[in-house]
Structure 1
Amino acid sequence: MAEPDCPNGLWDEHLGTAIDIQEFRDCSRTNECAYCGMLLDIITHTKPSWLTDESSTRDLSIAIKPRERWVFNTNLSLPNSKGSGSIRLLEDGQQIDSVQLFKPITDVQKLSLISWDRYEKLLFGESLDIAPSSDSAIAFERASHWLKDCADNHSCYTDAQRSFLPSRMLRLEESEAASSVQLVERSAVSASPYAALSYCWGKDTSGVIITTKANYSSHLKGIPVISLPKTVQDAITVCRRLGIYLLWVDALCIVQDDGEDWRREAEKMIDVYFNSFLTISANEPNSCKLGFLGPQRFGSSEWQQSVPVQVPPGLGGPASHLLFRDSQMERPKLFSLDSRGWCLQESVMPRRRLVFDGCELSWNCMEKMFCECGHLDEEACGIYPLLRTGRHADEEDDDDELSIYAKLHLEWMDFVEQYSQRALTKSSDKLIAISGVVRLFQTRFAKSKSNETEKDKQILGLLRNLVVKNSYMPPGISDGYFSGLWGDCFIPNLTWTVDHTQLEKSDRMEHRKIEDSVSPSWSWASIDGPVTFRHMEISIGVWRERMNPELTFDAVVHETYQRIGLGLWNKDEGMQEAPMNGGDYDMFVEATCEEVIIV
């Protein structure tokens, strides 16, 4: 593809630098430059105030900012989250405004086939024309395409997943006109794909239909759809339009006033989401009474406009229009579902997720991510791939500097950081709410770890004697897990500290100790507030740079215990008395890390 052929070179060697607006005007008028002419047309349609007579008296310049090339992720390579380059307006050298533009495409699949021509893809992102409503035919056509593409071409859904069914599900009739759904037990259903719903109940649950001991028999006969919360009604609509006729909803598939049933089914919740054919995530709204199908914020003309401009060949043309988006209208930093502690494992574990957030439709499976707007979120790309895929030691890449086992520990610490930013109705549930993920991590650790040595056994024995008496261990978890810390990575797991950066971004003024916590003070779960393992991030680089480059993760952990183990255990009682962020303990942990890793 030809590069932009600007006679004055404004689109080549000066790309990214500030250029006086008058230079683009002169080049367009004098040389009939198609590229500078296109730029002025874009500004005329999107930011006409940049070209007014009054602006000619100001020191205004334009900078064409290319799009960054890549975000590298553990198992995915994706464009960066900005989605497009930008045209920026500067006054006296300071940016005061900007424009982002996208080339509209109609083929859903092409969103994942982004090549990197220097100019075309670095200046203009690619995007679908976002559906005005998530309840529209075009929205469901896209969702159906994503699901079919994954089912036909990916290995996200295995035979093991196909053989699993929850204890109870809602059976749906194929016809959207059907007026009822039926609660069915597993024994009454042959192996068939089911969908799971992840959503917010909301604070006001008055009048919301749930399954209880009193209405259980009635629900087995049928439940009027119109009596269900709007979010559940919308999930039923999604399932029917995608050809899925079994749906799991916690409020209806767990007997809510039966403590034994609730505990038993709550422990299986991780398996329900992990084995679902599809998980429907209603990130918004924050109440099940409101529903999630309807107008999409990014599909409105306020956020997305078609700009009639002629795009020259050197910038990906010929094309007759681009999509202009208001850079000031962004998605919320945190959706309602993403702020709830209990919901994290619901977003981590599904192998396929169709997400409705009120802004746009998006897709996330084990192999690909799509969103309508083309802004792929770096932080959401391929989250916890080793935990979700189950790769283990005999699948390791010889070129990797860290083993799968070590990477799993890093995934755990990242998981803790993300989880600590979420809210729980009962702070004392902090460890209980992730017991399913803990069980899965333990399974993954067992598969990825080399044979247990005598030293491993000695370390775990020491931990059992010193800390297990004060630790919380959820049902189904064997030795090696102590109140949110893993025994074979205990010292690195101790290096948590309060994340004051995230704390300042939150709506709380300070972190606090959980009074009725089941966790000892040396556990990150003993406080209500965001934490980080910043020391651990530094340590990994130090292992390779300042010590033996061939030193393994396991060896560092063992060396850690040898050097400071006795000193740490002697401080055990003091650790349980002192809050983690009181100062002295933070300094002790930091000094510990420096001694072990750097010396």
Structure 2
Amino acid sequence: MGSQIEPRQLNKLCQKCQQIFPVTGLWPWERRDPDQVFSGGKQWHLRDLTIDELDESATTDGCHLCRVFLDSLIPIPKLIILTNCDGYTSWREDVKTITFYLRLVNRDHDPDNYNFSLDHDVKPSYGGSSIDLKPVTPKDSPFQPSWVIRSNHLPYGYKNSPSPVTIFQPSSTTNFDPLALEQIRSWIHDCTHNHEACRGASLVQNSMAEFLEKVRFIDVGLDDTATVRLVERIKDTNVKYITLSYRWTVETPKTNLKTHNKDKYHQSIPTENWPQIYKDAVALSRTLGIRYVWIDSLCIIQDDGKDWNTQASLMHRIYTHGYLNLAHACAEFSPGLEVTRDPISVSPCVLSRTRTASSSEYWACFVNYTPSSDLARAPLYSRGWCYQERFLATRTVHFSQQLYWECKAGHASESFTGDKGLAWSRGSASSNPDILTSVDQANDQRFSTVFGVSTVWQTIVRDYSQTQLTQYSDRLAALRGVFNRFWEILDASQERDWCVAGLWKKYLIRQLIWYRVSHRHGHYDEFERIRDTAYYASFEKQLAGFPSWSWASCPTSPGSSSIAWPGHTEPEYQNEPLVEIETIIPLNSQALHLGYPGFESSALVLRTAFGFFGFDAEQLLSKWESWFSTCKADARAYNGDKCQFQVLINLDRPIIGVVEKEDLRLLPISMEYQAGRWDTVWIEGILLEEVGVEDDLPTFRRMGQWSHRYDMDTCTQQSPIPGLLGSFDTKERLEIELGEFRKRRELLPFRRYKLV
């Protein structure tokens, strides 16, 4: 352990930055009336420079503020590199000038107390973020130099902080520095003593005893002289162990646990050829006084399918009950957990000045990211298996350019830590990988109105579907631990609420109308850009084991596309299903015998009173074949020159092979409406292709999702679905139509279809 980088001087400014922020007197814009300078959305021009000038100042001259400027530009280009997208080189060459400017965000009642933000204008733009300029006060600290951000000046991402946020300036050149390790101890102590949510994650004693009968650990001892060996059936139900979250490399299989070396590993495990990350995990475990470590490649017999399935079914317990998870967040840039770093790339820049002989001020400059948003871009979490591990772990230390802490109560980092150990608390599903913790803590009323079981699961699938897997056939297996934890926390066993091919039985009708959405507006994503038929066919082969109606069968790409659901969660929206699930036919229920409450492949028998309705299928196919609109198409039915209705169709995957327009159908799944100021009805369903007859039933496979919206302002024509709704032009008329619809539905005969 150690670094070859010489420590850099923190808060050092280049000459141009010194001119902007002189250490004495007024700053340039303060020589005028700030209310006039920043009135009407005006901004104060700071400086113009090229990307090369900025890079030179930050890396060669060591300007701390220029480093912050540079980091505000870099996140999107870094993401492009990590996802193997092109464009970064040409972007840098095309950038001629970057303009930085200052804007007034707000000021409190003190006329001299301003709150600023530094922004930039760069073309072509790949995004980036603003820089916060916050007034801070010095604070005594046993660690590094530190300042406190006053509560009325907290950045947006830290508004939910459970305590005042302290800015630290780590000066070490490695995240294995003694002060950094002491910070880990401090986080652990605070979490284990003060966080009720984290303490509640432990298993009850009888469950723990049963769990320990099945799981293995690596006994690493408490010092460097201890023999490293494999152990099983530990009797101590209070055992503490560390887990490891990392990416396999070509070196990993060389030391795997196999059937032939299992007995030998019980005596001693040779560590000479271990990957560096294993050695680091052992060193940290001993430093923290934790004797046992769990590492998948050494605790699961890799050439025994039965053992692999058994251990996979325990994954939610392995990570949830672990004392601490060590995450190799910067997996692509370091072979081990230790990372060398330039201190100015980790520490916020603090500007100091003396306005008068007796008055000193301090201002902190930092890119406005929370620890959770930093981690969202970490290479490790682009991997599907690692998403599950992060989701399940009770508490995790992420090893990257700096240390990040994450537990069920919140986040922190070496740079931003609250007085109670956390700088940012849990509170939003989108930024919290373990949103079930919030659900578990909430009472039933809050759970039903704020989260909703179906909404929680949709958030999980949205985030997980953006990850990568070496084998796409593992797409549901790599989420099995999350299935099990979801199942246990919600006590779904009481209702036999299984997870069927990645969708929950209780909410299956609503969850059938998922769709693939692109996140890179104006750019083709991976599957849109590469048009080689063999490429698509390879995904078809890997995902063929999943039913077409499951999101698991739909290829997505990290950072570019994911699975989403239409609809609204506000209480005023009401939903009525238009189909019934008559039968779920499991095609692979082996996992049920292993304690996994679900099956990954099945067919559905649907009952519905509303049949398929027609659309311009030829138009859809021609648009797809000409790449007019990738995975999207408008299908219209016309009555003369007047558009009677419009359906937006999202294809799940590229069309491979021949598809006859006569075989395509639109099946309505649900109707959602809002009876309020704007009276609108959404009809949503799935695009199907007829594939024959099975079990004497017309059989279809899913090809996409569709939605149709009409309201009293835009649609005076009758619904395109026979027997559904007539035209309406007032709220009262909509209520009448809904009543008539329910009466008709009771009289309509049901049809049965099979979905595979």
Determine the structure 2 residue equivalent to 1:146.
187
Matched, 1:368 2:395: no
Question: Cα 1:524–1:257, aligned 2, differ >3 Å: closer, same or farther?
Answer: same
Q: How far apart are 1:426 and its partner, in Å?
A: 1.7
Determine the structure 2 residue equivalent to 1:533.
564
Question: Cα 1:268–1:309, aligned 2, differ >3 Å: closer, same or farther?
Answer: same
Question: Cα 1:429–1:324, aligned 2, differ >3 Å: closer, same or farther?
Answer: closer
Determine the structure 2 residue equivalent to 1:515.
541
Give secondary structure in 1 for the equivalent of 2:313: helix
Matched, 1:129 2:156: no
Determine the structure 2 residue equivalent to 1:462.
none
Determine the structure 1 residue equivalent to 2:435.
385
The aligned runs of 1:131-530 (5 Å cut-off) are 131-155=172-196, 156-158=198-200, 160-161=202-203, 163=205, 164=208, 165=212, 167-175=215-223, 177-178=224-225, 180-187=227-234, 191-202=238-249, 204-205=250-251, 208-286=254-332, 290-296=335-341, 299-301=342-344, 304=347, 306=349, 309-310=352-353, 318-319=360-361, 322=364, 334-356=377-399, 358-374=400-416, 381-386=431-436, 390-391=440-441, 395-397=443-445, 400=446, 402-403=448-449, 407-446=452-491, 480-501=498-519, 507-508=526-527, 509=529, 514-516=540-542, 517-529=544-556, 530=561
Give the aligned residue type for 1:152: H
Question: Cα 1:312–1:227, aligned 2, differ >3 Å: closer, same or farther?
Answer: farther
- Equivalent residues of 1:169, 1:246 under 8 A apart: yes
Q: How far apart are 1:595 and its partner, in Å?
A: 3.1
- Equivalent residues of 1:195, 1:247 under 8 A apart: yes
Question: Cα 1:128–1:423, aligned 2, differ >3 Å: closer, same or farther?
Answer: same
Q: How far apart are 1:326 and its partner, in Å?
A: 12
* In 2: Cα distance, 1:111 partner to 1:589 partner: 59
Question: Cα 1:137–1:189, aligned 2, differ >3 Å: closer, same or farther?
Answer: same
- Equivalent residues of 2:240, 2:292 under 8 A apart: yes
Unaligned runs of 5+ in 2: 1-26, 47-62, 70-96, 109-114, 159-163, 417-422, 531-535, 582-605, 613-649, 656-660, 673-681, 685-708, 712-733, 735-756
Determine the structure 1 residue equivalent to 2:752.
none
Structure ranking higher on relative contact order (CA contacts 8 Å, 6+ apart)? 1
Q: In proportion to residue count, which structure has more helix?
A: 1
- Equivalent residues of 2:579, 2:670 under 8 A apart: no
Give secondary structure in 1 for the equivalent of 2:310: helix
Q: How far apart are 1:333 and its partner, in Å?
A: 6.4
Question: Cα 1:557–1:107, aligned 2, differ >3 Å: closer, same or farther?
Answer: farther
- Equivalent residues of 2:385, 2:479 under 8 A apart: yes
* In 2: Cα distance, 1:120 partner to 1:595 partner: 41
- Equivalent residues of 1:157, 1:277 under 8 A apart: no
Q: How far apart are 1:386 and its partner, in Å?
A: 2.8
- Equivalent residues of 2:502, 2:552 under 8 A apart: yes
- Equivalent residues of 1:171, 1:181 under 8 A apart: yes
Determine the structure 1 residue equivalent to 2:151.
116
Determine the structure 2 residue equivalent to 1:475.
none
* In 1: Cα distance, 2:562 partner to 2:243 partner: 30
Unaligned runs of 5+ in 1: 23-43, 51-57, 70-83, 453-477, 548-555, 572-577
The aligned runs of 1:55-134 (5 Å cut-off) are 62-66=101-105, 86-88=117-119, 100-101=132-133, 103=136, 106=141, 116-118=151-153, 126-130=166-170, 131-134=172-175
Give the aligned residue type for 2:483: V
**TM-score by structure 1 length?**
0.67
Matched, 1:17 2:41: yes
- Equivalent residues of 1:344, 1:419 under 8 A apart: yes
Question: Cα 1:15–1:383, aligned 2, differ >3 Å: closer, same or farther?
Answer: farther
Q: How far apart are 1:366 and its partner, in Å?
A: 1.1
Determine the structure 1 residue equivalent to 2:78.
none
- Equivalent residues of 1:172, 1:240 under 8 A apart: yes
Q: How far apart are 1:415 and its partner, in Å?
A: 0.9
* In 2: Cα distance, 1:381 partner to 1:414 partner: 10
Give the aligned residue type for 1:365: C
Give secondary structure in 1 for the equivalent of 2:230: strand
* In 1: Cα distance, 2:174 partner to 2:326 partner: 17
Determine the structure 1 residue equivalent to 2:724.
none
Give the aligned residue type for 1:489: Y
Identity %: 21
Q: How far apart are 1:580 and its partner, in Å?
A: 3.6
Give secondary structure in 2 for the equivalent of 1:347: helix
Question: Cα 1:138–1:505, aligned 2, differ >3 Å: closer, same or farther?
Answer: farther
Q: How far apart are 1:350 and its partner, in Å?
A: 1.1
Larger Rg: 2
Determine the structure 1 residue equivalent to 2:11.
none
* In 2: Cα distance, 1:586 partner to 1:499 partner: 21
Q: How far apart are 1:61 and its partner, in Å?
A: 8.9
* In 2: Cα distance, 1:295 partner to 1:85 partner: 32
- Equivalent residues of 1:85, 1:125 under 8 A apart: no
Give secondary structure in 2 for the equivalent of 1:390: helix
Q: In the TM superposition, what whole-angstrom CA distance separates every residue of 1:160-186 from its partner, at most 9, and x where no partner exists?
A: 4374346211122222x3364221112
Determine the structure 1 residue equivalent to 2:683.
595
Give the aligned residue type for 2:458: M
* In 1: Cα distance, 2:439 partner to 2:242 partner: 20
Question: Cα 1:484–1:142, aligned 2, differ >3 Å: closer, same or farther?
Answer: same
Question: Cα 1:260–1:45, aligned 2, differ >3 Å: closer, same or farther?
Answer: closer
- Equivalent residues of 2:509, 2:577 under 8 A apart: no
Q: In proportion to residue count, which structure has more strand?
A: 2
Give secondary structure in 2 for the equivalent of 1:359: coil
Q: In the TM superposition, what whole-angstrom CA distance separates every residue of 1:316-359 from its partner, at most 9, and x where no partner exists?
A: x84457456799xx968633321111222101111111111x22
* In 2: Cα distance, 1:167 partner to 1:560 partner: 44
Give secondary structure in 2 for the equivalent of 1:280: strand
**TM-score by structure 2 length?**
0.55
Q: How far apart are 1:189 and its partner, in Å?
A: 5.2
* In 2: Cα distance, 1:207 partner to 1:253 partner: 13
* In 2: Cα distance, 1:11 partner to 1:119 partner: 22
- Equivalent residues of 2:148, 2:167 under 8 A apart: no
Q: How far apart are 1:484 and its partner, in Å?
A: 1.6
* In 1: Cα distance, 2:466 partner to 2:429 partner: 14
Question: Cα 1:232–1:259, aligned 2, differ >3 Å: closer, same or farther?
Answer: same
Q: In the TM superposition, what whole-angstrom CA distance separates every residue of 1:3-37 from its partner, at most 9, and x where no partner exists?
A: x9968541699378325569xxxxxxxxxxxxxxx
* In 1: Cα distance, 2:105 partner to 2:30 partner: 17
Determine the structure 1 residue equivalent to 2:590.
none
Give secondary structure in 2 for the equivalent of 1:143: helix
Q: In the TM superposition, what whole-angstrom CA distance separates every residue of 1:261-300 from its partner, at most 9, and x where no partner exists?
A: 222112111210011111111122249x92121313xx43
